[in-house]
Amino acid sequence: MAKIGFIKLGNLGMSQVIDLVQDEIAARQGINVRVFGTGPKMGKDEAADTASFKEWDADFYVMISPNSSAPGPTAARDIYKDVPCIVISDGPTKKDDRQALEDAGFGYIIMTVDPLIGAKTEFLDPVEMASFNSDVMKVLSTCGVVRLVQEELDKVAAQVDAGKSGADLELPHILAKPEVCIERAGFNNPYAKAKALAALHMASKVAEINFPACFMMKELEQVALTTATGHELMRAAAELAVDARELEKANDSVFRQPHSKKGSLMQKTKLYEKPAEV
């Protein structure tokens, strides 16, 4: 039985499904999942609150947050530095910073394609927030990011099933750029793959647009226009992702990779085809 603990500090697009991707129809045996979430906040106080979750004694933990170099996530890592823990975030992207995570014993999946939301009261309300995250999920799901995370967590769970534990577990160390993510998507049609890769690049650009609006700009019109621009780009990326999947559906070649009840991966591409174990 692999016990996996998910710690959600704040919110990324991937946070919506991170605890679901290994057991998509709630029928998988040999896996036990618990989640500790701090809602939208990710400060030091929220990080301190996660300490109680360590008592659940998971085989490994997955800590997901925006900007893992921020004070809150950094404080949370200090709590979990002596147990297997995989950091999933949109940063740090620099090699030296990622190496520091690895040297400290953490696994990581740094997703440059999980974009920063336009978090300014001049623009963002609950409906806009939900709409943005639904667009993000279209890109993450269709274009390979969800499958990348799912496969990497499956690999660690398989090690637990094989009897490994603690420091013996091999954790992922991946910079999930567009070119890396797209290879996990399983596209058969090259035009669909191109559309999906374009969507990933667009999603990566959204953070560059929204960052100055969130942290540097002061004038109302400038802030509102820039955040709206970032969200429009995310919407266009979502439409491209949908187009890519529709091309695959038109060819009856959508790649599917469900879990069996025992946890092994199965595959199929034809709609009227029974999944077969890999």
Q: What is the pLDDT of residues 111-158, one digit of tens each?
A: 999 999 999 999 999 999 999 999 999 999 999 999 999 999 999 999
Name the token pair of 22: 């290994």
CB 23 within 8 A of CB 33: yes
What is the torsional sign of CA 27, 144, 154, 66?
A: negative
Which residue is it, tokens 């969130």? 214
Q: What is the pLDDT of residues 38-58, one digit of tens each?
A: 999 999 999 999 999 999 999
What mean pLDDT comes out for the span 17-24? 97
Would you call 136 exposed, middle or buried from its count of C-beta atoms within 10 A (0-12, 13-18, 19+)?
Answer: buried
Asked if pLDDT for residue 1 goes beyond 90, the answer is: no
| Cα atoms in the Cβ-side hemisphere of radius 13 Å centred on 174 | 21
Considering the domain architecture, whether residues 214 and 250 belong to the same structural domain is answered as yes
Q: 70 and 37, same structural domain? A: yes
Same domain, 11 and 83: yes
Clarify whether residues 29 and 160 are in a common domain: yes
Share of the chain above pLDDT 90, in %: 99
| pLDDT tens sequence across 203-254 | 999 999 999 999 999 999 999 999 999 999 999 999 999 999 999 999 999 9
* Cβ contact 240:202 at 8 Å: yes
**Percent of all residues in the chain with a pLDDT value above 70, rounded to a whole number:** 100
The answer to whether 145 and 111 are in contact (CB under 8 A) is yes
What is the per-residue pLDDT for 194? 98
**Domain range holding 163?**
1-111+144-184
d(CA 273, CA 113) in angstroms, rounded, equals 32
Q: Are residues 127 and 94 in the same domain?
A: no
Of 108, 100, 50, nearest to 80 (Cα)?
A: 50
The encoded tokens of residue 6 equal 């998910």
SS3 state at 3: strand
Residue by residue, DSSP assigns 245-257 as: HHHHHHTT---B-
Same domain membership, residue 90 and residue 172: yes
Number of domains, the chain: 2
Find the helix packing angle between 145-161 and 126-142, rounded to 10°: 70
Asked if pLDDT for residue 278 goes beyond 90, the answer is no
Q: Is residue 81 one of the residues assigned to a domain?
A: yes
Same domain for 249 and 170, yes or no, is no
CA gap 274, 159 in Å, rounded:
27
User: 95 and 198 in one domain?
Assistant: no
Residue 272 to residue 251: CA distance in whole angstroms: 13
3-state class of 87 per DSSP? strand
Q: Same domain, yes or no, for 68 and 204?
A: no
149 in the same domain as 133: no
Asked if the model's pLDDT at residue 179 lies above 90, the reply is yes
The H or E element spanning position 8 is strand 2-8
Q: 37's torsion region: left (phi>0), alpha (psi -120 to 50) or beta?
A: beta
Whether residue 246 is found in the same domain as residue 209: yes
Sign of CA dihedral 137, 32, 72, 172: negative
Statement to judge: residues 136 and 152 lie in one domain: no
Q: Give CA–CA dist 185/163, Å, rounded.
A: 30
Q: Residue 181 pLDDT > 90, yes or no?
A: yes
The one-character DSSP state at 244 is H
pLDDT of 145 reads 98
Q: Number of helices and strands (H, E) in the chain?
A: 8, 8
Query: Taking all residues of the chain, what is their mean pLDDT, rounded to a whole number?
Result: 97
85-89 and 60-64: which strand pairing? parallel
Q: What is the pTM of this model?
A: 0.96
